[in-house]
Amino acid sequence: MTKLALIAGAGGLPAALVAALPDRPLICALDGFAPAGLTPDQSFRVERLAVFLRWLEDQGVSEVCFAGAVQRPRLDPALFDPATATMVPRLLAAMGQGDDATLREVLAIFAEHGFALKGVTDIAPHLVPGAGVYAGAVTPQTEKDAARAEAIVAALGAVDVGQGCVVAGGLCLAVETLPGTDAMLGFVAQIPASLRPAKGLFYKAPKPGQDRRIDLPVLGVQTVRNAAAAGLGGIIWQAGGVICLDLPAMQQEAEALGLFLWAR
């Protein structure tokens, strides 16, 4: 019998996954990044990763799913146990190459210890919508801006920078970097109307070649509100590649605010 552990980060995604599963998984959280609305069964630190992996084995865990937001933690050399210390060179080398490389290395370490990696699409596929227009209407200009945004996000992802951008009338108003989506949309809200040829759109997609078992982009109701506050006409995301925490609530909010939602 398989036993699942949810390696949870901050935000609402871990709770949405738990609500979607028939059986409650073991909930584990990186120290300092507790999930919203859930009480972890176990917290752990990167400096004690080997100890945590052994604990998972002792609990009979055979599968793990990573969900939720984390940032690179500050590491305390005094806390490393001998087994984790042997992993440090490979982790530091991966961190120097960017977030994608770091995540791939973490996945490799878990796999080497015998854990099967499950993605959100494996355990809660309804949270990753397929193609369709879910609110409002798509215009020819929307389609042009979407194609432009797709090219921009693909270029960003190729150098491990971000998963989103804002395009209006063919012009890129902002790209997503380390501060994240909310910061980007907040910046766009401050751009004067004289520099905005059209309302524009927010586009979100995984990075090219990204392992989709981890770090899929996430949208929620607050994203819809922030897009409206930024003066945008709507949100577009790559169908089958972006998590929507509560699509019906997103649709309702988009209709109320006059925004379109398109899984492209």
The domain that holds 29 is classified in CATH as: 3.40.50.20
For residues 42 and 102, membership in a common domain is answered with: yes
184 and 210 in a common domain = yes
Residue 94 sits in the same domain as residue 149: no
Number of H helices and E strands in the chain, helices first, is: 10, 13
Residues 114 and 66 in one domain: yes
| Angle, CA 12 vertex, CA 8 and CA 13 arms, to 5° | 60
User: Which residues make Cβ contacts (< 8 Å) with residue 133, sequence separation at least 6?
Assistant: 260, 261, 262, 263
Same domain membership, residue 73 and residue 165: no
Same domain, 118 and 230: no
Q: 72: domain range? A: 4-123
CATH code, domain carrying 154: 3.40.140.80
Write the CB contacts of 245 (distance below 8 Å, at least 6 apart in sequence). 12, 13, 16, 127, 218, 219, 220, 221
**Is residue 255 located within the same domain as residue 146?**
yes
What is the rounded distance in angstroms from the CA atom of residue 163 to the CA atom of residue 153? 6
The pLDDT of residue 100 is 66
Which is nearest to 181 in space by CA: 229, 110, 146, 140? 229
State the pTM of this model.
Answer: 0.88
Q: How far is CA 45 from CA 77, 104, 179, in A?
A: 12, 18, 23
Domain boundary among 79, 96, 123: 123
Three-class SS of residue 216? coil
Shared domain for 26 and 137, answered yes or no, is: no
Same domain as 113, residue 136: no
Distance between CA atoms of 252 and 134, rounded to whole angstroms? 10
Query: Of 72, 101, 123, which residue sits at a domain end?
Result: 123
**Statement to judge: residues 144 and 225 lie in one domain:** yes
- Return per-residue pLDDT of the chain as tens, 264 residues: 579 999 998 889 999 999 989 999 999 998 888 899 999 999 998 889 999 999 999 999 999 999 988 777 777 888 888 888 888 788 778 777 766 677 788 888 999 999 999 999 999 999 999 999 999 999 999 999 999 999 999 999 888 888 999 999 999 999 999 889 999 999 999 999 888 888 999 999 998 888 888 888 999 999 999 999 999 999 999 999 999 999 999 999 999 999 999 999
Name the domain boundary from 90, 123, 156. 123
Q: Could you tell me if 100 and 64 lie in one domain?
A: yes
Paired tokens of 93: 């080398």
Check whether residue 180 and residue 195 sit in a common domain. Answer: yes
Residues 6+ apart with CB under 8 A from 249: 221
Cβ atoms of residues 251 and 134 within 8 Å: yes
* Number of structural domains the chain divides into: 2
Helix ranges, the chain (H): 13-20, 49-58, 82-85, 88-95, 99-112, 120-123, 140-158, 181-189, 221-229, 247-257
